[in-house]
Structure 1
Amino acid sequence: MVGGRSAAGHHPAGMACGRRHEPTLARMMRALVTVVVGAVVTGVVIGLLPGITADGPWAVPAVAIVLGVFAAVLRPLLVTLLSAIGWPGVVAGWIVVQSLLVWVALQVTPGIHVDGFWPAFWASWLGAILMTIGLWLVTAGQQGVATRHLLRVNRRFRRSVPPTTVPGVIMIQIDGLSAPLARWAIEAGNLPTIGRWLRSGSHTLTKWHARMPATTPASQAGLLHGASDRVPAFRWYEKPAGRLVVTNHPADSALVESRLSDGRGLLADGGVSVSNVFSGDASTSLFTMSTLRGRRPGPARYLSAYLLDPFGLTRSLVLAAGEIVKELHQARRQRLRQVEPRMHRDWRYVLLRGATNVLLRNLNLTVIAEQIMRGAPTVFCDLVDYDEIAHHAGPARPEALASLDGIDGVLAVLEEVAAAAPRPYRFVVLSDHGQSQGATFRQRYGLTLEDLLAGELPGEDLVVAAGGNLALVYFPRLPGRATVEELEQRFPQLLPALTGHPGIGWVMVRSGRDGPVVLGRDGRRRLRDDHVDGADPLAGFGPHAADDLRRHDSLDHTGDLVINSLWDPVAGEVAAFEELIGCHGGLGGAQERPVLIHPRDFAVPGPLTGADAVYRVLCGWLEQTGCRTPRSLIRRG
């Protein structure tokens, strides 16, 4: 069924359309609950803080009502004014705007007495924290609260944006989610919204193969630009320029996108990129790494509104604090239960989890909801919550799976917001790669890959660019690609030391005579014709391994040595060259098997190998819906 609602009030077919009209009684009950919670919070704040008194109990709900009216009337005006001032105005406004509103409300409400501004300042912050907790407890974290808030703050678009019947497409990337784990999470109830779509028959689940390197930059170069062959790893060294490129640095990602873009990326024709590495040639690019440096210095209005709204940043900070407490408990539980493999989760990750799992997720939700209400034809957003937790806790661990509940909540809210949008929307959910688990190389052997190489090459100048369980090794003083013959002559013990190490699965190197060859402990594979001497070093690494390595050998700036860690098919584990329990980038395990969940009437023409193939399918779907102009028509025009 396309359009329409299920008995539960949802749109089961990936197309949400029409405008929601909430019953008057429901609105009145919601307002009453808010007033009651506000009155209770106000009473607690007045009772706890010195400098604020009330003549009687009747004054407490009165000030709560006055504050609510002031906030509804004055805050939008203040957001506009402070946004015009710029970042100083927005930051200062976030600190004092709510305090000013509280102070004025306390001043004008009969029966309330306040001794100056500072009691009101502290009352505003304590009240915001208690109000967040109180509403969460009363609503039990129901998504409808967030939906109503987003519809309210974007109500101007409901009046000003003309409706259309041309469907838009919302593409949400769940970073790092493998197809096997996605199926498991659906069955376990961690992804109930996606599960409902699949059970209703509106959507179907397709797995695809992420070619090596299975990283976000490489996959997004393919998904958003159809050019994954321009990204050989998460980080790599470019010999001609003597430069290390790291794709999560804005300057480097902008450089790489300049090589990818032909002006016809996935999000051309008015699309929106949110929190991605590359923009896909979107006309609107928000929190996207490759376009950060080119942004105007002032804050956009949507960001100002988020910062100045108590339901925005202040609420998110409270929830982020809760996420931090949860992380401390879960890390301690892993230690007490002696879960293996595990890693030390230091304070930097603790703060990062709060930022990604709450602050960034809520900000992304706010931004996407606004773009939906503006009627954007296409939106592509990368949600990194699961990937970040899976790196540190393990991809199948309870805390990683629990993060999928929050991502599913985002999908549920967006589905409801889209029901009130000026156009119908189709939802596509996909991942860029999976993750594989295992104790790290250093945990297993007491040294890093760099230490192992330095032991064989004392004093030698080399660059090791590791990402997950894949490492590219460069010899900067040797021009071009170093050959196996040259390395055997210069460093005769190097390749035997690497291939003989138990933590190394295979090493790929170029031969001047035979082209690319893969070396293992007990054998050698010539990729030109797949001739194997001894034991095949790629045995067990999957049916795509040889093709992936042939392709990787042809990429610009690949390493002189391409090194993959061990893959233990019995334990299902790899050994990351970084200090990450869950990793991706090389071969072995579920890291190569991302997922694509799409409306059933969006056809997939056969197996999908590589992100470029997924890009072509996505472009076809956008052309099918009318959101994208086919290349043939552009050339003809």
Structure 2
Amino acid sequence: MLGGRWRRVASQIGRSVGVWAVSTLTMLVLAGLLPDFRLRSADGDSATDIAVTAAFGAGAFGLLSALVWPLLVRLLLLVPALVLGLLVFFLNGALLLLALRLNPGERGAAAPETAVVVAAVMSAVASATGAALAVRDDDAYRRRLYRLADRRRRAGPPCPAGPGTLFLQLDGVGHDVLVDAVGKGLMPTVARWLDGGRGRPPTHRLTPWRTDWSSQTGASQLGILHGSNHDVPAFRWYEKDRREVMVCNRPTSAAELQRRAVRHTGHDGLLGVDGASRGNLFSGGAGEQALVLSIAARRRSRENRSRAGYFAYFSDPANAVRTALSFVAEVAREIGQSTRARIDKARPHVSRGGLYPLVRAFATVVERDVVVAAVMGDMLAGRTAIYADLVAYDEVAHHSGPFGRDAGKVLQRLDRCLALIEKVAEHAPRPYRIVVLSDHGQSPGETFRSRYGLTLGDLVRAGCGLPVPRRARRTRSGAEARNAVRAALRRPVEEGTEDHRPPRRRSEPIVLASGNLGLVSFPDVPHRMSREEIDARHPALLPTLANHPGIGFLLVRSEEHGGVVLGARGVEIPLDRLDEDPGPLAPFGPGAADAVRRTHSFPHAADIMVNSFHDPADGEVLAFEEQIGSHGGLGGAQSRPFLLSPLVFSAPADDGAEIVGAEHVHRVLRRWLDESNGPQVPLETREERAA
């Protein structure tokens, strides 16, 4: 044992010397190439003096990177995460300038802008050299990966002998998209898991499941992690009793939704025992949390900081430089791809300018790298259950389309992440079972606004007799909205005339969009309005919406029937008759009626729930947001995510049965944890146990 320890020490010293030597050589090469970077005094020096200066500078830069850089990154936690990648270069350059100034001979000097370039190259070379020297040393490889961990288990009980489970969520990747990507060879790791190959049997099974009406991350992930997404009708909705718009990706809303789910189920969540939650909207009851939105609004302790995971990753300067370089490359890639789409006049199309290239780079590079590093650290720390979300595909597909070339490239990179995680699992202190799943898919189609020239809010205002914005009046669809109102009121449609009556002094409706799902609420009415009340107040509103060609169906409360679904040409189907006659729900496939009835039971369902048109022939929907790949309502692939699970687990559902809803997925994942390690989810919450 003692000999092995000395061998490890000698191996570590050897790698450090090797990295130092390569860094010194890199500094010498850069000094020869860059005119504003020198390693000699003004009077000139011998080759030996220059080499010594380079060796001293490389060593000092390495020590500063190891000792000072983590402190700088901790301070940078106060900086918005999107800005962090841009500061990496400048801070790294500042460390190099400091290293040169520490040289007692004062031979080295560099212009500030040159120092940034030199520091970036040296960090990248040092990282590559260290990885190459450690490639055959499992202990070194494991130690390096530990440095990527968000929080290591410094002390505590020994790692359990049973297998751990990783749940990795590929946000927005639908079942059909995954199958298509595997068929095209874009995801060889997933293909190998499903098909085996080279004489090996398959290791995983692929199972589709069906989302709730609200096919979006907030509802799905809350149900998956906490076992309940009751009263989450959409991504954003208005709550009359609290006079507040709830938005699933707002920290205060996420914290409130998590609190409600825990109260509803009576337990902390899927990860309540030795769990880690990474990059999610909700914690799942995990004791280890980083980049979790529901804790972002409270900073009571170090453990509750939502951005603590960034410190764990960026405390390694090599990680910082590599991710920053990838960030810049991704921004350039997005600009090039969007330019090509404009030149080719690709349709459908949405704007991809402004800050979007930076947002995309953050989601596809920074968030991905940090979350993957945290997951690897959790596995090497031996945590029992890990749930992480990678949002890269979802962000790109919104603007490029779910089957677009740009989105396909993202899937390739995600597959490489799976391969890396699989490799890390071989070095973990316990075996790991890797489950890959998605929270929803995406449905293609142009936006409601691009097809009809007005937004859902414009159409609602027209139906309420309120002024339609000038940008809508100047389009053919603006006239269409006004003509629909006249027809609903049985007034003649007159060409070339405008109705300029002032709006009545009533509170204007709140119109919110969640993909192709729209919600209309009247904030001055404290209860959920009935169909009869809406007709009495705005006689043209419901006919205007129901008869518009871009609308699939409406859901409203009815004093006579409890709830009704409205369609074009006066179709009205009570909810309890939808199984006999689905009416306007027919194009949305099986399960649509149950999803609508469930949402109708929610206390905070909107006065009018609006689902866009859906063409089952091509799977297209019309998003009420500016997205050509959308999700949030019913229609197409958005409601059909996947579950990729190891064969060692029991089948997700009985033969022929379908997994319906995120709460059902929670029960499946909980059963798998029980199969691996016994009952995992306590029957009471942490608060109840503390009491």
8 Å contact 2:37–2:114 — kept in the other structure?
Answer: no
TM normalised by structure 2 equals 0.79
1:194-244 Cα offsets, whole Å, 9 max, x none, are 222112211111110011100100001110011012311101111112111
What residue in structure 2 maps to residue 599 of structure 1?
A: 646
Would the aligned equivalents of 1:175 and 1:432 in 2 still touch at CA under 8 Å? yes
Partner of 2:209: 208
Please say if residues 203 and 597 of structure 1, whose CA atoms lie closer than 8 Å, have aligned partners that are also in contact: yes
Which is worse superposed, 489-498 or 265-274?
489-498
Aligned match of 1:198: 194
Q: CA deviation at 1:295?
A: 3.2
| Aligned with 1:567 (options 587, 608, 614) | 614
Task: Check conservation: 2:268, 2:681, Cα contact below 8 A.
Answer: no
Aligned position for 1:419 = 426
Distance change >3 Å, CA 491–CA 103, structure 1 → 2: closer
1:279 alignment partner, one of 275, 278, 283? 283
Aligned to 1:528: 576
Deviations 1:298-342 (A, max 9, x none): 678764353342222222111111001111111111112222111
| Contact preservation (8 Å) 1:279, 1:290 | yes
Answering whether residue 200 of structure 2 is matched by residue 152 of structure 1, we say no
Matched with 1:226 is 227
Q: Specify whether residues 105 and 139 from structure 1 end up closer, same or farther in structure 2 by C-alpha distance, changes over 3 A only.
A: closer
Number of equivalenced pairs:
608
DSSP-derived class of the 1:557 partner: coil
State the SS of the aligned residue for 1:324.
helix
Report the CA distance shift for 1:75/1:499 in structure 2 as closer, same or farther (over 3 A). same
Q: In the alignment, is residue 624 of structure 1 matched against residue 675 of structure 2?
A: yes
Contact 1:164–1:422 (Cα < 8 Å) also in 2: no
TM superposition shift of 1:160: 7.3
Residue from 163, 168, 177 that aligns with 1:167: 163
Q: CA deviation at 1:382?
A: 0.9
Q: Secondary structure at the match of 2:632?
A: coil
Cα deviation, residue 418, structure 1: 2.1
Match for residue 176 of structure 2?
180
Higher deviation after alignment, 43-52 or 613-622:
43-52
The question of whether the paired residues in 2 share the 8 Å contact of 1:230 and 1:555 is answered with yes
| Equivalent of residue 29 in structure 2, options 37, 43, 46 | 43
> Partners in 2 of 1:615 and 1:144 — Cα distance?
39
The whole-number CA distance in structure 1 between the counterparts of 2:684 and 2:602 is: 32
Worse overlay, 314-323 or 66-75: 66-75
Alpha-carbon distance in structure 2 between the residues aligned to 1:294 and 1:399: 36
Q: Relative to 1, partners in 2 of residues 1:434 and 1:249: Cα closer, same or farther, differing over 3 Å?
A: same
- Residue 471 in 1 paired to residue 457 in 2? no
Name the SS of the counterpart of 1:285 in structure 2.
strand
Kindly provide the amino acid, as one letter, of the partner of residue 34 in structure 2.
Answer: L
| Contact 1:98 1:124 (C-alpha < 8 Å) held by counterparts | yes
In the alignment, the residues of structure 1 paired with residue 160 and residue 182 of structure 2 have an alpha-carbon distance, to the nearest angstrom, of: 33
With normalisation by structure 1, the TM-score equals 0.85
Root-mean-square deviation (CA, aligned residues, Å) is 3.8
Q: What's 2:267 paired with?
A: 263
- Which residue matches 1:383? 390
Q: Does 1:114 align with 2:108?
A: yes
Range moving further from structure 2, 435-444 or 30-39: 30-39
SS at structure 1 position matched to 2:350: coil
- Structure 2 Cα separation of the partners of residues 557 and 422 of structure 1: 46
CA distance in 2, matches of 1:61, 1:204: 58
- 2:674 aligns to what SS in structure 1? helix
Displacement after TM superposition at 1:499 (Å): 1.2
Q: Check 1:519–1:99 CA distance in 2 against 1; reply closer, same or farther (3 A cut).
A: same
Secondary structure of residue in 1 paired with 2:523: coil
Q: Describe the shift of the 1:634–1:331 C-alpha distance in structure 2 as closer, same or farther (beyond 3 A).
A: closer
Residue in structure 2 matching 1:409, options 410, 416, 435: 416
CA contact (8 A) 1:94 1:308 kept: no
Is 1:537 equivalent to 2:537 in the alignment?
A: no
Structure 1 counterpart of 2:319, one-letter code: G
How many angstroms apart in 2 are the aligned matches of 1:88 and 1:497? 49
Residues 63 and 109 in structure 1, CA contact (< 8 A), matched pair in contact too: no
Distance 1:302 1:617 in 2: 29
- The answer for the alignment partner of 1:293 in structure 2 is 297
Shift of 1:570: 2.9
Query: For residues 580 and 222 of structure 1, what CA distance do their matches in structure 2 show?
Result: 25
Structure 1 contact 230–260 (Cα < 8 Å) conserved:
no
Deviation digits for residues 73-122 of structure 1 (CA, Å, limit 9, x no counterpart): 56444466667878579989985566446643675598x8224xxx2755
Counterpart of 2:626 in structure 1 is 579
Could you say what secondary structure the match of 1:129 adopts?
helix
Q: Secondary structure at the match of 1:513?
A: coil
CA distance in 1, matches of 2:328, 2:127: 14
* TM-aligned CA deviation for residue 246 of structure 1: 1.1
Deviations 1:561-617 (A, max 9, x none): 110111122332111001111110111110000011010121212321101011001
Q: Is the 8 A contact 2:267 2:685 kept in 1?
A: no
Q: Tell me, in whole angstroms, the C-alpha distance in 2 between the residues paired with 1:220 and 1:394.
A: 22
| Other-structure match for 2:252 | 251
Deviation at 1:412, TM superposition (A): 1.6
Task: Find the residue that maps to 2:557 and give its secondary structure.
Answer: strand
Aligned to 1:429: 436
Moved more, 148-157 or 248-257: 148-157
**Does the 8 Å contact 1:178/1:591 carry over to 2?**
yes
The structure-2 alpha-carbon separation of the partners of 1:213 and 1:88, relative to structure 1 and needing over 3 Å to count, comes to closer
Secondary structure of the 2:332 match is helix
- With 181-190 and 45-54 compared, the bigger mean Cα shift is at 45-54
Specify every segment of 5 or more residues in structure 2 that has no aligned partner in the other structure, as ranges: 1-6, 197-201, 467-502
Residue 239 (1) aligns with residue 237 (2):
no
Secondary structure of the structure 1 residue equivalent to 2:586: coil
Matched with 2:487 is: none
- The aligned amino acid for 1:566 is F
**Which residue pairs with 2:593 in the alignment?**
546
CA distance in 2, matches of 1:297, 1:123: 40
Amino acid at match of 2:38: I
2: CA distance between counterparts of 1:73 and 1:33?
A: 12
**Contact map agreement 2:515 2:633 (CA 8 A) in 1:** yes
Q: Helix, strand or coil for the counterpart of 2:513?
A: strand
- Residue 540 of structure 1 aligns to a residue whose secondary structure is helix
CA distance in 1, matches of 2:440, 2:88: 40
Distance 1:513 1:366, change over 3 A: same
Q: CA deviation at 1:294?
A: 2.0
Deviation of residue 386 (structure 1)? 0.2
Contact 2:126/2:318 (<8 A) preserved? no
Distance (whole Å) between structure 2 residues aligned to residue 60 and residue 407 of structure 1: 44
Amino acid at match of 1:250: P
Would the alpha carbon gap of residues 154 and 515 (structure 1) be closer, same or farther in structure 2, given more than 3 Å must change?
same
Contact 1:525 1:532 in 2 (8 A): no
SS in 1 for 2:430: coil
Structure 1 position 35, deviation (Å) = 5.4
Offset, 1:500 = 1.1
Report the alpha carbon displacement of residue 346 of structure 1 after superposing the two structures with TM. 1.3
In 2, the alpha carbon distance for the partners of 1:384 and 1:301 equals: 19
Deviation at 1:493, TM superposition (A): 1.4
Relative distance call for 1:491 and 1:163 in structure 2 (3 A) is closer
Cα 1:42–1:208 shift into 2, 3 Å: farther
Determine if contact 2:70/2:314 at 8 Å carries over to the other structure. Answer: no
Q: Deviations over 1:24-83 (max 9, x none)?
A: 99x999996995587346522553143523446677776666566556656444466667
**1:269–1:282 contact (8 Å) kept in structure 2:** yes
Give the stretch that moved more between structures: 55-64 or 83-92.
83-92
Alpha-carbon deviation of 1:488? Answer: 2.1
Local SS of the residue matching 1:538: helix
Mapped partners of 1:487, 1:564: distance in 2: 18
Partner of residue 16, structure 1? none
